Amino acid sequence: MERIIPFSPELSDHFRDLNLDWLEQYFYVEPHDRDLLDHCEEVIINKGGHIFFYQENDLICGTFALIKVTEDTYELGKMAVSKVARGKGIGQKMMRFCIDFAQQAGWKKLVLYSNTSLENSIHIYRKSGFIEVPIESGNPYARGNIKMEKNLSQSNS
């Protein structure tokens, strides 16, 4: 059985570990990552954000966060799938859930930061209706060389 479940404090290690595994495989862990991963409840949940987990049977094999930017704009971040579960479409399922959740919440926009070397991820984002927008100087991630957003008031999901 597969399902997407919301954050609970006992799952915070999964959030950290899934993301560290991914970051260490493709990039490196930045100070902003450490803050989000080591203190996810304080810096994401308690500030109006959300964290979700993809669960297959009893195994947590994916996660992502919706980090509050403004009342109606959230950053999709910290999306990771475990190595053993990659290639099963879990990223796309989490993306669909994320967009549905944001639309039901009445948000206007989702933004994300990524790196163009992550071709599979960029493909999923584009397929989900995200478009590239100019990236601001001083964006939160040194590895971030692309910013994308999805206007939720459009039906191009």
- Whether residue 128 contacts residue 110, with contact meaning beta carbons closer than 8 Å, is answered with no
Any domain includes 31: yes
Domain that holds residue 55: 2-151
What is the reported pLDDT for 154? Answer: 55
Per-position pLDDT tens, the chain of length 157? 899 999 999 999 999 999 999 888 878 888 888 888 999 999 999 999 999 999 999 999 999 999 999 999 999 999 999 988 888 999 999 999 999 999 999 999 999 999 999 888 899 999 999 999 999 887 777 888 999 999 998 554 4
Any domain includes 147: yes
Any domain includes 157: no
- Whether residue 31 contacts residue 18, with contact meaning beta carbons closer than 8 Å, is answered with no
Any domain includes 106: yes
**CATH number, residue 19:** 3.40.630.30
Any domain includes 38: yes
Any domain includes 87: yes
Residue among 42, 43, 36, 46 nearest 15 (CA): 36
34, two tokens: 């450490």
- Structural domains of the chain, count: 1
Give the model confidence (pLDDT) of 21-67 as tens digits: 988 887 888 888 888 899 999 999 999 999 999 999 999 999 999 99
Is this structure's pTM higher than 0.95?
no
